[in-house]
Chains A and B, each alone.
Chain A
Amino acid sequence: MKIMVAVKRVIDYAVKIRVKADKSGVETTNVKMAMNPFCEIALEEALRLREAGHAKEVVVVSMGGPQCAETLRTGLAMGADRAIHVSTTELLHPLTVAKLLRGLAESEKPNMLLLGKQAIDDDANQTGQMIAGLLHWPQGTFASKVAMEKGSDSVVVEREVDGGLESLKLQLPAVITADLRLNQPRYATLPNIMKAKKKPISQVTPEQLGVKISRDLEIVEVIEPPKRKAGVMVASVDELLDKLKNEARVI
C-alpha cells in the first residue's frame, strides 16, 4: 500500500503572531516556520503503518514556493521514502489544494491519503473533506486512532466527535485526517537527516496536474482579537444573570 501524506509549512506554533500594519495578513518575514503540527502527526501515523507492515511506501507532499523543500526534507528526515513538491508561488486555499491533491492522487494512486485535520494558520479544516469529496473516497476525519488488519483492504478509524468517540470502518482507498491525540510524532535523528539528502524530491507544477489556480477566497481583513477586558464585580445574582443574558448573551 502506498500512503500519501500532505504537509503544510506554517508559522511555528510557538511564535507570537503579529498582524501586519495594513491588516492584510500576519507577519511572516523572518518568522520561524515549521511543519504544521497536525501534519506531523499524520506523517507519524503513516510511518507507523509502514513500520507495522501495512504500507510499503510513504510519500510526503507539500505545495508552495521553494521553502517547501525545507518542510519536505523534515518529512524525509522523519522517515518518508520520497517527496513531491508542487511548485507555485500563488496563495493556495483549501479547494485549490484539494484539486492539486486530486491531480497527484490520479498519478500516484495512493491507497490512503493522510492529512492533518487543519492547519494552524488558517484553521480551515476543509482540505481533507474536500479531497475526499473530489475523489469520491470515504473519509475519517479527526482521527484519534487508526487501525488496520494485515492484508485487509479496510481501515478502522476512531474519531473524536462532539458526542465522544465514533468508530468508522472505511474501505480503502480512503482519506484520514489526524487529530491531536492520534500519536506523538518522532524526532528526526541525525543519521536520518543525512540519509534524507539521498531521498528524491520531485517537482511538479499545477499546470502539469491540470489545475488552474483561482482565487476562490478573498481575505478582506485580518485583525487581532479584541483585548481581554477587565472583569467586573457584580453586586448580586440578579445583576449577574442580567449581564449574562443581555451583555454576554450566553443565556
Chain B
Amino acid sequence: MLLQFNLPIPIPIPCFPTSSLIDMGSFQLSRALLGSRRNWVVRSQASLTRFCSSGVIKGVSDTSSPSVHESPSASASEHAVANASEAILKSRTWNEHQLTADQLQFRSLASDFAENELMPFAAQWDEQKHFPVEVLRKAAGLGFGGLYCGHDVGGSGLSRADGAVIFEALAYADVSTTAYLTIHNMCASLIERYGTEDQRQDFLRELTSMDLLASYCLTEPNSGSDAASLQTTARRQAGSTDYILNGEKAFISGGGAADVYLVMARTGEAGPKGISCFYVDKDSKGLSFGRQEDKLGWRSQPTSSVILDDVRVPERCLIGKEGEGFTIAMSALDGGRINIATCSVGGAQFCVDAAQGYVSTRKQFGKAIIDFQNTQFKLADMLTKVQASRCLVLNAATALDSKAPWASASAAMAKRFATDECYNVANDALQLHGGYGYLKDYAVCELSPF
C-alpha cells in the first residue's frame, strides 16, 4: 500500500528540537493521511458572496431566507454537503473570552474572507498546484499583506496575537495558502523591524499590497537544522560596494513565483556571526530556480530551490548590519513558528468540525455514531488538543508582543505542540470518517496538510 504523508514546509529551528511530523517508527504511519482534493458543493442556499474593495464581482444565487435543513441521505456527496454546512457553522472556538473586541472583529472578517474566497477553491488549487496570487492580492487589499508593518507603508500595525487570530481563521479554510501568507508577512515584518527608514519606504509598500510576493531563504541542501552552517556566500569585490552572492537555497516556499527573496548569506566568519541578510530581486542576473517540488501536500504553494550564481546585490539591499543576518533570521522565525502553529490549529479545528458533522449524521447499529461514548470521548480529546494548541499559540504570541525573554522558547513550544497534536487530530478525524475518510471527496482528507 502506498503510504503518503504530508510534510510541513520545514522551517528550521536550529536551537530547539525540530518536531517531526513523521514519527518514523510509529504506528501512525499505517494510518497516514492523504492530502488532496476536497469536492465541496458550496451551499447554494443564501450564498451571499462578496467582493472586496478592488471590485471583483462573483456570482450570487437567489434566495431570501434559509429553510430548516433536512437530514442528508447516506450518499457520499450529500455527506460532503452536510459536512460543509456543519463545518461552516462550528466556528466557535471557545476562546472568545480571551480575545479583544478588535480581535473578534478581525476574526470575523478573516472567517468571512476564508469562507467565501478560500474554502470553495482550496481543494482545486491543491489538486491543480495553482498558486492563487489573485486571491492573495485580494487578501492584501483587506490588510492581510502586511499585518505587522506600519501604517505609513500600507501595513496594518497589528500585534502577533491579532495575527494569530486572523491566520487561524484563514487556515480553517486553506492551510497551505494561509501558510504562504504568513511567510510573506514574516518577510515584510523582518524588513519593518530591521530595515533602515529608506529600506522600509522603498521595499514595504509593494509587499504590504502584495504587488510583490516575498520568500524567505535560509535553508540549504546541506544546512537544515544546522542553519548557522549555511554556505551561501556574499562577497564584496575590490572597488565596489556591491555583494556577489553564490549558493543554493532549498525548499523555498514561493520559490519561482515570488518577486523578492530574503536571502541569508555568509559575509564573514563561519557560524552565526558571519551571516547577513539580503533583499534579492527575482530579476537579478544569476538568480534561477530549481524545478517545482512535487510535494505530497500544500500543493497550492510553490516550493523550489533558489540558485544564486554570481548574483549582484547592491549595498542598499543589505538588511541590517553585516553579521546580523542570523539574529534577523531567527527573530523572524519566532513569528513564523507561531504562525505555522496557528495554521495547524485552524486546520485541526476544521477537522474536528468536519468529523463532528459526519458522526452526527452517520448511522450504524440503529443510531448516529456520535451517540456512542467512544465517539464522544474521541471528539472531546480532539477538541481538547486543539484548544490546548490554541492556548499555547496565544501564549507565545502575547509573549512575543511583550518582548518577553522566553518568547522564542514559547514560540517553539507552540509550534512543536500544535503541529504534533493537530496532526493527531487530523488523523483522528479521518478515522472517525471510516472508509469515507480515505476518499478525496471528503474534506478531512485534504485537511491533513500539515
Contact = CB atoms under 8 A, between A and B. Distances in A.
Interface of A: 13-17, 19, 30, 32, 37-38, 40, 73-74, 77, 117-118, 120, 123, 180-181, 184-191, 193-194, 197, 224-225, 227-228
Q: Is the interface of A mostly helix, strand, loop or mixed?
A: loop
B124 interface: no
B64 A187 contact: no
B158 interface: yes
A13 B151 CA distance: 34
Contacts of A74: 105, 108
A70 to B, nearest CB: 8
B29 interface: no
A14 B51 contact: no
B68 A225 contact: yes
Interface in B63-118: 63-70, 85-86, 88-89, 91-92, 101-102, 105-106, 108-109, 112-113, 115
Given A193-B105, A224-B68, A225-B68, A184 B86 contact: no
Contacts of A16: 68-69, 85-86, 89
Nearest to B116: A187
11 contacts: A13-B48, A19-B68, A73-B105, A180-B60, A180-B64, A184-B58, A187-B51, A188-B109, A188-B142, A190-B144, A193-B102
A186 B109 contact: no
Interface of B: 43, 46, 48-53, 57-58, 60, 62-70, 85-86, 88-89, 91-92, 101-102, 105-106, 108-109, 112-113, 115, 141-144, 147, 151, 156-158
B64 A184 contact: no
A14 B60 CA distance: 15
A17 B105 contact: no
A29 B65 CA distance: 20
A40 B48 CA distance: 10
Contacts of A14: 43, 46, 66, 85, 88-89, 115
Contacts of B43: 14
A187 B92 CA distance: 21
A189 B143 contact: yes
A77 to B, nearest CB: 7
Contact of A13 (B46, B60, B106): B46
Contact of B52 (A37, A118, A187, A225): A187
Contacts, number: 104
Contacts of A193: 102, 105-106, 109
A189 B60 contact: no
Contacts of B58: 184
Contacts of A15: 66, 89
Given A77-B109, A187-B112, A193-B109, 6 more contacts: A13-B66, A17-B66, A37-B48, A118-B64, A123-B64, A187-B51
A15 B65 CA distance: 11
Contacts of A187: 50-53, 109, 112-113, 142
B255 to A, nearest CB: 28
Nearest to A196: B105
B151 A191 contact: yes
A33 to B, nearest CB: 10
Closest CB pairs A-B (n = 8): A190-B143, A13-B46, A190-B156, A37-B48, A189-B142, A184-B51, A187-B52, A123-B65
A243 to B, nearest CB: 22
A189 B53 contact: yes
Contacts of A32: 89, 91-92
A185 B52 CA distance: 8
Contacts of B115: 14
Contacts of B50: 184-187
Contacts of B141: 189
Contacts of A180: 48, 60, 62-64
Nearest to B111: A32
A181 B61 CA distance: 9
Nearest to A17: B68
A228 B85 CA distance: 19
A158 B189 CA distance: 48
A127 to B, nearest CB: 15
Contacts of A77: 105, 109
Contact of A184 (B57, B68, B91, B147): B57
Contacts of B157: 194
Nearest to A30: B92
Contacts of A117: 64
B285 to A, nearest CB: 38
Given A16-B89, A37-B46, A187-B53, A120 B102 contact: no
A66 to B, nearest CB: 12
A181 B142 CA distance: 23
